[in-house]
């Protein structure tokens, strides 16, 4: 899909009003019009927090807002019917729907079980710090509100590898269950990063794997989703996803899009994971996100010429999903690493107006975040439109040649020029001989134009600490006309 662009259509602090699926449905036509072709929706199933659960505290994968469980029928985002209607609206507007898949853990069990387990060192998960002892753990999921509809599978302690709470002693501690062992095919962070939270799903248990396959088929057939955003892949047995994705792609005769969240700024870890999983998915380019955050926090001390060095976007672009921020990096969250507001236009130009595979725009930047008093990123819709209707990734001339001012020109029938600086006002000169005497407009300063001279040369300026985006005047007029529709 040429010039594909995805939007993450949620942020952490959305109102718990059960109306988000309605918002998706109403916005779908506009999203398509300005140039998006993929929409990543939040986890749609019931979480332990009921109507206030963002979706990552997974309780029941089969409850999409249909059953009275955890004190509510609707999820935070709405009912099952509203969810399916939202997906249908997206499809009617040529948006592929990417579903958020959280397989790593379960939370909010219905009953406890008494089993044997040993306590594990949080900082070295390969080290036990107690002998096996009797513990009482919340691991029995019977889903009384669903009563076996869609699946009669009951989750018990044998479906999990460990948990983090002993109800008998009322103590929080990392527990590895009797006869169980953390998967070896995970990140080696803290010795072994199999465990994150809740009841850790055991991917070595065949009945568990079979149930996840059954659920995926049910979910795909019911909703018609077009791909997957895979949560916390570094903590899930890496042998699972290649087989699972290959099976689903074969059964549905569909090259289902998949992007994994492997949260690490270490490029070598991401490269190793891609090789280990036979490149069955793309990965979010976390190293690039950290570069953008560092640049925004370092002001003119950051070397802009190296912004793409050591990133997945640079070394494996077809396997990278570039992003600026997401629900985990926004202020107040566990992975907070927010790209500062002054640098947001710079950051989005760097991922949207270059030859990136499928960059992702964050809802919090698109709509603003009331909770954090963050506004909409200026010119974001315009950049998405330019990427869709004007940008040609096949003829890029780079000028990533200065510590403070970098730029590039995407040539062709409808050229664009980007110049950005983290310091004083600056400029870049590009040769565009096919566009002699054509006028170019900086969309960030719509009263400012430059004209290509008789020799086919144009000097494109940028103000202090700003990002300038130039397109031909006729394209600028078309864009303004389209954006008003």
Among candidate residues 95, 99, 90, 78, the one with its CA nearest the CA of residue 22: 78
Identify the three-state secondary structure at position 351: helix
Q: What is the CA radius of gyration of the chain?
A: 24
**Is residue 463 within 8 Å of 437, Cβ to Cβ?**
no
How many whole angstroms separate alpha carbon 202 and alpha carbon 177?
A: 11
| Residue 158: both structure tokens together | 């044998």
Between the two ends of the chain, the Cα-to-Cα distance in Å is 25
Identify the bridge partners of residue 121 per DSSP, sorted by sequence position. Answer: 124
Q: How, if at all, do strands 416-421 and 467-472 pair?
A: antiparallel
How many whole angstroms separate alpha carbon 7 and alpha carbon 366?
A: 9
The residue to which tokens 């050591």 are assigned: 310
- Residues with a catalytic annotation lie at 231, 261
Q: How would DSSP label each residue in 64-117?
A: SS-S-BTTBSSBTTB-HHHHHHHHHHHHHTT-EEEEEE--SEE---SEEEEEEE
**Is residue 201 within 8 Å of 160, Cβ to Cβ?**
yes
Identify the three-state secondary structure at position 193: coil
How many whole angstroms separate alpha carbon 213 and alpha carbon 229?
A: 16
How many whole angstroms separate alpha carbon 103 and alpha carbon 231?
A: 7
Annotated binding site: 104, 194, 200, 202
Residues near 47 by beta carbon (within 8 Å), at least 6 away in sequence: 53, 54, 55, 56, 57, 58, 59, 70, 75, 76, 107, 108
Q: For 279-324, what is the HEC assignment?
A: CCCEEECHHHHHHHHHHHHHHHHCCHHHCCCCCHHHHCHHHEECEC
Q: How, if at all, do strands 58-60 and 160-166 pair?
A: unpaired
Annotated binding site for Ca(2+): 104, 194, 200, 202
Among candidate residues 67, 47, 64, the one with its CA nearest the CA of residue 144: 67
Identify the three-state secondary structure at position 129: coil
Taking each continuous run of H as one helix and of E as one strand, the counts in the chain are 11, 25
How many whole angstroms separate alpha carbon 392 and alpha carbon 147?
A: 54
């Amino acid at each position: 899909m040429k010039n594909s662009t995805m939007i993450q259509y949620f942020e952490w602090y959305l109102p718990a009003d059960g109306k988000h699926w309605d918002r998706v449905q109403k916005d779908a036509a506009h999203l398509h019009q300005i140039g998006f072709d993929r929409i990543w929706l939040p986890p749609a199933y019931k979480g332990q927090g009921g109507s206030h659960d963002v979706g990552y505290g997974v309780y029941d994968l089969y409850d999409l807002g249909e059953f009275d469980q955890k004190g509510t029928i609707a999820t935070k985002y709405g009912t099952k019917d509203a969810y399916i209607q939202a997906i249908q609206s997206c499809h009617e507007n040529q948006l592929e729907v990417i579903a958020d898949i959280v397989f790593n853990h379960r939370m909010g069990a219905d009953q406890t079980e008494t089993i044997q387990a040993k306590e594990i060192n949080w900082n070295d998960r390969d080290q036990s710090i107690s002998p096996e002892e009797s513990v009482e753990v919340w691991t029995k999921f019977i889903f009384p509100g669903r009563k076996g509809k869609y699946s009669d599978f009951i989750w018990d302690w044998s479906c999990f590898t460990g948990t983090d709470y002993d109800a008998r002693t009322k103590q929080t501690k990392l527990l590895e269950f009797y006869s169980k062992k953390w998967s070896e095919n995970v990140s080696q962070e803290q010795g072994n990063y199999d465990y994150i939270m809740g009841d850790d799903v055991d991917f070595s248990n065949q009945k568990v794997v079979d149930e996840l396959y059954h659920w995926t088929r049910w979910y795909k057939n019911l909703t018609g989703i077009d791909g997957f955003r895979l949560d916390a892949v570094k903590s899930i047995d890496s042998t699972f996803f290649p087989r699972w994705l290959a099976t689903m792609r074969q059964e549905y005769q569909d090259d289902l899009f998949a992007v994994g969240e492997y949260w690490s700024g270490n490029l070598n870890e991401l490269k190793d994971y891609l090789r280990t999983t036979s490149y069955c998915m793309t990965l979010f380019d976390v190293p690039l996100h950290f570069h953008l955050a560092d640049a925004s926090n370092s002001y003119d001390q950051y070397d802009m010429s190296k912004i793409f060095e050591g990133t997945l976007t640079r070394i494996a672009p077809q396997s990278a999903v570039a992003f600026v921020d997401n629900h985990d990096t926004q202020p107040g969250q566990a992975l907070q690493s927010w790209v500062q507001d002054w640098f947001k236009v710079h950051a989005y130009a760097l991922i949207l107006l270059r030859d990136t595979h499928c960059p992702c725009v964050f809802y919090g930047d698109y709509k603003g975040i009331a909770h954090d008093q963050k506004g909409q990123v200026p010119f974001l819709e315009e950049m998405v439109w330019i990427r869709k209707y004007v940008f040609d990734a096949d003829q890029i001339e780079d000028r990533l040649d200065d510590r403070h001012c970098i730029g590039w020109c995407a040539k062709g029938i409808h050229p664009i020029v980007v110049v950005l600086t983290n310091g004083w006002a600056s400029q870049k000169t590009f040769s565009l001989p096919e566009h002699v005497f054509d006028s170019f407009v900086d969309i960030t300063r719509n009263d400012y134009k430059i004209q290509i001279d008789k020799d086919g040369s144009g000097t494109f300026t940028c103000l202090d600490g700003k990002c300038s985006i130039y397109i031909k005047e006729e394209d600028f007029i078309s864009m303004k006309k389209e954006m008003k529709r």
